[in-house]
Structure 1
């Protein structure tokens, strides 16, 4: 006899606190200690003062890798959440935590005020670890949704499938629309939008802001940090690979990146892990805007994360029938995403005149975009992946000796697409 299916719980209804963690882990103990150390009374008083009405703080909470979230309910039935930053154990300075809190709050505000990307309203934030509450926090409007990756698991979906085929296609179409919509907002500099006291936004308004006038400056900064990390932090047996990859990237990106601005917005971490959805995988809000910035077109055109579109480096050969099938299915998703980008681009260019330069669907998986993909994966997916990228980059250097930067359609290390598939008639 089949067991009755558990009801599908969304948003707050699915929160189970630290029980979502394995009890024998250090993180579980740290979360329990963190909850006990927070002055919830001080937080409730701050909320009361901000809204002018009494509130209660929920017993239930949800926890992720960096944040703990608790619901705040007012007597007029309005609901907020407090997102509190968990203590860092990596030894990095508190100033980085403070900057990430400010960046998150300002980026969410920008998304709400200046774009069509759904994002929760921010009411207040305090980036200090020494505030009366006891941790950095952001107060924002509650959105009744669940992370797409968690709902995928709760519904028992196949890997990288988000609901039914129709729901999956609609979810992916929404991600493509977010990508293109962000890209229509352009600035002359590379960096993240900063909020002014007058309510406006700009890039590079403060001397302390990390921003760049050109793509060359941006990539020089990127490779300098990568080279330093490879030389100082990588194990001795992998240092050569960790140093050669950014060194080759710097040489190649100077040849293949031709974007000179203006620079569109991109969310470099967009994916199934940071969008809230309803039970049908319809996107309700982007909740973690870390990585929102203006960037060269090849950065804007990177594929969303955790949706089954991470391809092998160009030139890789499948080592088994299973791997070959995985590569084939992945390429199908990528081609479908490219078509969705094109459709979204056509919708935006019909309603606005802000699409300047190459559209994302054309920039996607160009030689420059391939190079950026390699740097995105660099150091994050294991030594074997890094070695594959080293082979790809080395081959690109050999080909670059005789190819002009303008020739991309016949580039040997280019992912093959037939544009005729995307043309009507």
Structure 2
């Protein structure tokens, strides 16, 4: 979630011990059955077949050269960390963040890092430099042997600029640590390694913390802004194409992992196994069917909507948007086959680290990893200019119309990319990525949007849901 964090993040504590989880991991093994569209998207044998992109490391990169280029401009990684300046030193929030920085037991945390590495000494890269995201503060730790880590501590509620909403700190911590361990051990997705962590706010440091691997990179979103790239373009057209290919490859990798239940990912340290537990957002679950999941999700969103103050009686009706979406999902949902793919619900340019040439070097903020129904998994990455319009919403604003004109071919291009990589990793099948932009996927996007802390999304998706219901009714009449 920490979209502004220019560094490798991760969080979490081991989940409660359970010795025999029925939610054991299963890799998708589906017989090859390509359709004509996939034949066009997949590389031919003369192109090297699936081996040409069989794992993330084979994608074209020129990391060393580009890092040198960017380092000269001080545009990469911890070079950009500047403390609480973004809040203003005299602002109330800026002062609260600074007070928290002063209160944390940083030296005690450095000692924990030294003890973990058998006495190798370390120190913070700069006595006054740190980075803050929505919920965490990070500092770089440098060891005398050249190894670099990140010390990451959880901000208290009074020092965060983002309302917590559905966010549960404990569950998020557990899911993020589990997700880093999972992808580090079972894939080549470049996530940071987690070394030491403690979710207890009453520990000797004074806050939940973790010590993780430092990855020298900047979020693609931030580097795109620094480089003054064209809207929705990451660097040059060549860099943008390469970045999107690598992003699609990672997204396709994630969805190849399946579990038999719906919910967030957790790790059982006693058995060193991974399982699906309660959803980080709702606190409910795990669920055995999509219908059960969407029912509880709807109830949770309705409670949140009811809790928001609405001074305009005319807008009170928008409160029920989740209920309309739930009915629509019962009409357009794909059901289930008893297995649910993993998805990182916060995957996007704000949480992808790149080098100076926009090669992906890390994926961070993994507290939203979730095993979900097809509609939940078939979503575009965030902060990439890939934001499909809610069905039935007609734009008239010239600026919005221009944005939609530019975005429409980009949506199709990314969908084709994801289909290509999913088919490579799943023996020719691309049943999930082919659903991007589908009615069911858009309805799920509506659920996610209604979960935002700012209630105006309910108004947008209420109007969209009404339009979809009318369309369905007319279709049924015909």
TM-score (norm 2): 0.77
- Answering whether residue 128 of structure 2 is matched by residue 56 of structure 1, we say no
Q: Are 1:99 and 1:127, in contact at CA under 8 Å, matched by a contact in 2? A: no
1:347-366 CA-partner distances (Å, limit 9, x unpaired)? 2134xx8x5xx622321121
Superposed displacement of residue 334, structure 1: 0.7
Which one of the candidate residues 170, 175, 179 is aligned to 1:98? 170
Question: What is residue 59 of structure 2 aligned with on the other side?
Answer: none
1:277 match: 354
- Residue 84 of structure 1: how far off its partner (Å): 0.9
Per-residue CA deviation, residues 314-342 of structure 1 (Å, 9 max, x unaligned), is: 23333133322111111121111111111
The structural deviation recorded for 1:30 is: 1.6
Q: Is the 8 A contact 1:167 1:281 kept in 2?
A: yes
From 153, 161, 170, the equivalent of 2:242 is 170
Which residue number in structure 2 is paired with residue 255 of structure 1? 331
1:183 matches 2:255 = yes
1:91, CA displacement in angstroms? 9.2
Cα distance in 1 between the residues matched to 2:255 and 2:114: 39
Q: What SS does structure 1 have at the residue aligned with 2:141? A: strand
Aligned-partner Cα distance in 2 for 1:368–1:91: 29
Per-residue CA deviation, residues 196-219 of structure 1 (Å, 9 max, x unaligned), is 22222122499x973111111110
Query: 1-side partners of 2:375 and 2:272: how far apart?
Result: 30
1:40 corresponds to 2:106 = yes
Is the 1:180–1:360 contact (alpha carbons within 8 Å) kept by the matching residues of 2?
A: no
Q: 1:229 aligns with which of 293, 304, 308?
A: 304
Distance in 1 (alpha carbons) for counterparts of 2:179 and 2:433? 25
Consecutive unaligned residues of structure 2, counting only runs of 5 or more, are: 1-71
Is 1:393 paired with 2:469? Answer: no
Is the contact made by 1:230 and 1:239 (CA closer than 8 Å) also made in structure 2?
Answer: no
Specify the alignment match of 1:74 in structure 2. Answer: 143
Asked if 1 retains the 8 angstrom alpha-carbon contact of 2:378 and 2:433, the reply is yes
- Distance in 2 between the 1:250 and 1:234 partners? 23
Q: How do 1:18-417 and structure 2 match up within 5 A?
A: 18-52=84-118, 53-58=120-125, 59=127, 60-89=129-158, 96-197=168-269, 198-204=271-277, 210-237=285-312, 240-260=316-336, 261-350=338-427, 359-378=431-450, 380=452, 386-401=458-473
Per mean C-alpha deviation after superposition, the further-off stretch among 308-317 and 17-26 is 17-26
Shift of residue 153, structure 1, vs aligned partner: 1.6
The answer to whether the 8 A contact 1:193-1:293 is kept is yes
3-state DSSP of counterpart to 1:273: helix
What's the offset of the Cα at 1:382?
6.2
The more displaced of 10-19 and 28-37 is: 10-19
Change in Cα spacing, 1:317 to 1:268, as seen in structure 2 (3 Å) is same
Shift of 1:403: 5.1
Shift of 1:41: 1.8
Cα deviations across residues 216-235 of structure 1 (Å, max 9, x unaligned)?
Answer: 11101110011111223241
Query: For the Cα contact (< 8 Å) 1:167–1:280, is it kept in 2?
Result: yes
Q: Is the 8 A contact 1:128 1:135 kept in 2?
A: yes
Tell me how far 1:376 sits from its aligned partner. Answer: 2.0
Separation in 1, partners of 2:208, 2:348:
25
Q: How much does 1:380 deviate?
A: 3.9
What is the rounded CA distance, in whole Å, between the counterparts of 1:204 and 1:381 in structure 2?
24
Corresponding residue number in structure 1 for 2:18? none
- CA 1:332–1:110: 2 relative to 1, 3 Å: same
Distance (Å, rounded) in 1 between the aligned partners of 2:177 and 2:131: 19
Answer whether contact 2:174 2:266 (CA < 8 A) is retained: no
Contact 2:291 2:330 in 1 (8 A): yes
For 2:237 and 2:273, how far apart are their aligned partners in 1?
41
Q: Judge conservation of contact 1:242–1:379 (CA < 8 Å) in 2.
A: no
Structure 1 contact 120–287 (Cα < 8 Å) conserved: yes
Cα separation, 2, equivalents of 1:393 and 1:304: 23
